[in-house]
Structure 1
């Protein structure tokens, strides 16, 4: 299939460009005396970390590079600044695809009974997604799901991160720049945490429950510049239906499956910010509340309902 073909030169060039942008922002943080410029650069670094994570997201499906080892290598390195386990993210994410928007989906924590713990988890994730992701991918998910092979990879990843940060922080302390180094490492994660929560919540919040891959996902049109920097992850319906299609072909894929998207009334919104603000206001989900919302919106329809409306074709 043409849409599944790799474009390695484009991907390598784009990754190098993103790294160059991050180096430039890091240089600004390191050298500027301007407080507002420093914090602007921190925000930019957090945004670019989200960009690198969207590359890593393709690596979990082995569609970033053709050789599988390159996907693994990039995934492990890309997760090192965030101190998160790539193998845990990969296993969690593939399980999320398998059980999308059901109680078996490990990422479906926004759905519950709207009890106190549901509110705590929902708003806690929005406030500190990086911290909760650190705990989930490094500890909770491995304990609950890993076999020996995945534990071995996970421990190897963890040791790699320990060595990298031990070398970095030892150098920083020896040269009297430990505070600056910690700031450069940690402050961008605060802003990454916000961008990650906004993206994560928007992708599936208040989409139909247990209705499958297409209607259980939301595409956010956003804008071309943002889509380019976040590697088209906003074109999320197509990704869930055909996860083997690389990021650079998701816009074309969306156009090809648009009749199905329109026919089933899957949710397509214009803005991450609008969806995220709505989620902030409405809070955690419950099945009765979701059913009421979807009825009000009048958009999503079950496949059986759509097929029933089609003209009957005579067999004679």
Structure 2
């Protein structure tokens, strides 16, 4: 994985984007309005944490195994929503003030162990080099060798563990240097200190198993949701074709859009990373003519794309081209 210098401003500035949109759209008042920050939509943040904590309390006190596991599932699903807030922080779009994005990003990552700094650097490189050989997230693309198959299906099944290893050790050791490396390892030290303090207290109270269960099992479900989302966003999209054609939007449903903060409108996010989460549906409507012009992929279901990907396995440039051919049976372009 090669090292790349990235500057956040370059990543989401309208003047530094692949597949530039028509000039009238770039200069439109509607587009400029979508970049404006509003504080009211972010009231969802305490709401999500409240739901997450409430489900944890129910699971903790439940004597019914089915209810307990439903709560673990719900906590994992809500955790995915919280992580999409953190994701906006990588582009400094969750809050207008830059330092607030840094603080919340670090805070949101504590239950996941991995560092915000590591994830942010990887993610900005992904945006700059989406669906190219320099994209650190393009591990679904390979030569369909044994190793490619093992990595692909391991990520689909136990992605939460591979993600932790990638962002805690592999990526930081290869890429992060200087101040960023110092911040990363400081975050990891903070996570270890918090985990040690929590489990030391739990042991003194004789509730270690309960604390472990309410932390660990929701993360397993979160890992599944994250793998499904991650694979669906780019799998089968054309190689080295820019942010529009190289990304998939999944309409899904309004309930899922609410809880995952419109991350499913992913084409718009890659085209305009500086647009906050609450304006992505409006951005999608503005972009739709251009999306249709370049033949970008719009689908209706995360699960359908995920199952399709599991059936097809790892990608190559050739298989990607064939899957996006209108004559292919696995052609998934689905614009109504």
Fold in common (TM above 0.5): yes
Q: Distance in 2 between matches of 1:139 and 1:192?
A: 21
- Where in structure 1 do 4 or more consecutive aligned residues deviate above 2 Å? 296-300
For 2:279, the equivalent position in structure 1 comes to: 249
Q: Which residue is equivalent to 1:119?
A: 149
What's the CA shift for 1:9?
Answer: 2.9
Q: Any stretches of 5+ residues in structure 2 without a counterpart?
A: 1-31
* 2-structure distance, mates of 1:170, 1:181: 11
Q: How far apart are the structure 2 equivalents of 1:98 and 1:125?
A: 23
Q: Distance in 1 between matches of 2:177 and 2:39?
A: 32
| Contact kept in structure 1, 2:299 and 2:332, CA below 8 Å | no
Who is 1:3 aligned against?
Answer: 34
Alignment counterpart, residue 263 of structure 2, candidates 230, 233, 246: 233
Quote the residue 2:122 is aligned against: 92
Counterpart in 2 of 1:54? 84
Whether 1:217 and 2:256 are equivalent positions in the alignment is: no
In the TM superposition, what whole-angstrom CA distance separates every residue of 1:136-187 from its partner, at most 9, and x where no partner exists? 0010001110111111101110111112111111110000000000001100
Aligned-partner Cα distance in 1 for 2:152–2:41: 37
Contact 1:265 1:299 in 2 (8 A): no
Give the CA deviation at 1:38. 0.3
Of residues 124-133 and 159-168 in structure 1, the stretch that sits farther from structure 2 once superposed is: 159-168
Distance 1:59 1:8 in 2: 14
Equivalent in 289, 299, 323 of residue 269 of structure 1 = 299
Q: Deviation digits for residues 200-257 of structure 1, max 9, x if unmatched?
A: 0000000000011110000000000100100000000000000000000000000101
**1: CA distance between counterparts of 2:305 and 2:34?**
29
Give, in whole Å, the separation in 1 of the partners of 2:113 and 2:275.
28
Q: Mean Cα displacement is larger for which, 147-156 or 104-113?
A: 147-156
TM-score where L is the length of structure 1: 0.93
Length, aligned pairs only: 299
Out of 38, 41, 49, the position equivalent to 2:71 is 41
Aligned runs of 1:270-285 on 2, under 5 Å?
270-285=300-315
Q: Is the 8 A contact 2:159 2:223 kept in 1?
A: yes
Distance (Å, rounded) in 2 between the aligned partners of 1:231 and 1:15: 10
Superposition deviation, residue 10 in structure 1: 2.3
**Any stretches of 5+ residues in structure 1 without a counterpart?**
301-316
Q: Distance in 2 between matches of 1:266 and 1:56?
A: 26
Deviation at 1:78, TM superposition (A): 0.8
* C-alpha contact (below 8 Å) 1:266/1:299 kept by paired residues: no
1:213 counterpart SS class = helix
How far did residue 260 of structure 1 move? 0.4
User: How big is the shift at 1:23?
Assistant: 1.2
Alignment partner of 2:165 out of 121, 135, 155: 135
Aligned with 1:198 (options 220, 228, 253): 228
* CA–CA distance in structure 2, aligned partners of residues 289 and 24 of structure 1: 45
Given that residues 6 and 246 in structure 1 are in contact (C-alpha distance below 8 angstroms), is that contact kept between their aligned partners in structure 2? yes
2:102 match: 72
The one of 176, 185, 200 aligned to 1:170: 200
After TM superposition, the score normalised by the length of structure 2 is 0.87
Residues 45-95 of structure 1: CA deviation (Å, up to 9, x unaligned): 000110100000000000000111111111111111011111000000000
Which residue is 1:310 aligned to? none
Structure 2 contact 323–332 (Cα < 8 Å) conserved: no
Structure 2 equivalent of residue 307 of structure 1:
none
Aligned to 1:311: none
CA distance in 2, matches of 1:28, 1:263: 49
